[in-house]
A = this chain, B = another copy of it.
């Protein structure tokens, strides 16, 4: 089953609203094994909506339209669909009653224009809306399915889930030969996109089923595998085999799957190994602490952080010697290490992380460029400091710095810091 999702609304076209409906619908359809081939956004304009809808009828089996079902004159989706399909609109008395109740409940008079919302193209099924006055419509014409949904996400989402998906599942059940799509995402850190592609080139070149797509995502790279098979079990087996093959090549570069973030993976490692941690941050300004505390339950291992922007705070809180700050300067390996040790002592943790650098845009000197950063880790069995040269805007540098710190921590927790010495510092810089 090939599908197009058409969102109708000038506010989407103009960029005032993000098209989250298409994203959410696509995610659900994909899980069903429906191939979503196009998302389209078009404004509240008769001629263009007609053109887009006609075009869609020529290229897909399932058309899902959202928006333009309100009561006002610029809500045209219902009328255009009926006109193009040459179906008369009929008033649904059940919905008229429902709307009357709705308005009575909120002590507001129902206006004449609301009656438009009870009109349904002949042969279509009205999909009741618990959260507003615009019902949806489900329609089959020949072998094609057309679904109309209201635009507000909190009305669309439950209607789609509860009333449209079961109908689609039934239709899909009748088409035995379609098969099922299953997908997995591997999350990679410490390797840029092209370096990763280079490493798994033979696997990528021979891909067939599952397909494999690399994707750069902020400071990391994702790898999506998608298998299509008649049985879900068979698709799962194919995925597992290919995942295994990739894991053998990429090893520890893979830190997680699916929605797992790097901070989640590191927090899990800390908890598994019953280790506690604290952070002393200068250029990352609290972002590392914030990333740790984004993870539910992180309080079990992340005991605290000190954001020490000024030299005075570095001395007072963390016990960094003033002499050090005056000789080698705040942005130095020595100070990063002293900060890591200070954080560990202050919060009485197993591990301390110290970060100092120049986030920019100001603060650079001829010897120290924007993006220069030192990240130190201190624990009973390990004391080390790495030098990095990051690039990008202030916010990008903050993100990359914390990514590198989490990556370093991950290698330490895996006991891989020695073997992987060369790659951890260098490769986090590019992506």
Contacts and interface: CB of A to CB of B under 8 A. Distances in A.
Given A15-B23, A214-B72, A197 B113 contact: yes
Contact of A292 (B24, B285, B288, B396): B285
Contacts of A213: 10-11, 16, 44, 74
A103 B194 CA distance: 11
Interface in A121-162: 131, 133, 152, 154
A197 B286 contact: no
Nearest to A422: B107
Query: How many copies make up the complex?
Result: 2
Contact of A348 (B192, B281, B312): B312
Most interface-central of A74, A316, A360 (chain B CB within 10 A): A74
Contacts of A378: none
A395 interface: yes
B285 A293 contact: yes
A333 interface: no
Interface residues of A, number: 114
Nearest to A103: B430
A324 interface: no
A13 B42 contact: no
A217 B216 CA distance: 26
A253 interface: no
A108 B192 contact: yes
Given A107-B426, A307-B289, A14 B27 contact: yes
A38 B41 CA distance: 6
Contacts of A152: 216
Interface string A220-235: 0000100000000000
A27 B284 CA distance: 31
B286 A307 contact: yes
A398 interface: yes
Interface stretch (A77-85, A237-245, A265-273, A296-304): A296-304
Interface in A63-112: 70-74, 102-103, 106-108, 111
